[in-house]
Amino acid sequence: WLHPLHVPFFRHLCCVLDLLVVWDIISMAESLQQVERCYQKQPTIFENKKRILGRRVARNELRFTRNVGLGFKAPRHAVESNYVDKKCPFTGDVSIRGRILTGVLATMKMKRTITIRRDYLHYIKKYNRFEKRHKKISAHMSPAFLDVQIGDLVTVGQCRPLSKTVRFNVLKVSKIGGAKKFSKF
């Protein structure tokens, strides 16, 4: 039986315990990045190596990252974080070749996939004028890119087909002010 004066204390204690449980779950998910059914790991890293005491472990033994080339640097989060994405151009097995395109980020409703809107002008010979047109491209966006919002300028590179509609991979995200608009010309 609880005394009426002890009820607020127990209510506060329950809230604190709930927060601690949630915090533990979040920190475990961030540290392991194991949210799929099967165990996620990078195929080029051997995780069961016997560690020798006193020997410093090199970064390339713990995480595989690579240079995409074409003047694009890997984001710091790709090197320092521990996410596993086999379709990432920085930590996965996808090579960038072919076209390099830029566009405005239109939607982020899919998991690790975004839609890019590319605006252009089409000339109508009869009226001697231009009309506005646009195309939408689906692209894979790896978890290396943090704090990305709709309306940002995105640079994508062509790669092998990753799914039915995805043939591009995000290489760089740069912030621009305002919402999506026709700002190319």
Asked if residue 39 has pLDDT above 70, the reply is yes
Nearest of 114, 95, 97, 94 to residue 106 by alpha carbon: 114
pLDDT grade for 182, boundaries at 50, 70 and 90: low
Task: Give the integer Cα–Cα distance in Å for 165 and 173.
Answer: 21
Q: What is the pLDDT of residues 125-159, one digit of tens each?
A: 999 999 999 999 999 999 999 889 999 999 999 99
pLDDT grade for 10, boundaries at 50, 70 and 90: low
User: Of residues 24 and 47, which shows the higher confidence score?
Assistant: 47
Tell me the percentage of the chain whose pLDDT exceeds 90. 47
User: Of residues 147 and 53, which shows the higher confidence score?
Assistant: 147
Asked if residue 119 has pLDDT above 60, the reply is yes
Cα distances (Å, whole numbers) of residue 20 to 13, 17, 26, 40, 54: 11, 5, 10, 26, 34
Nearest of 72, 148, 69 to residue 107 by alpha carbon: 148
pLDDT of residue 177: 63
pLDDT of residue 176: 78
pLDDT of residue 77: 87
Q: What is the pTM of this model?
A: 0.72
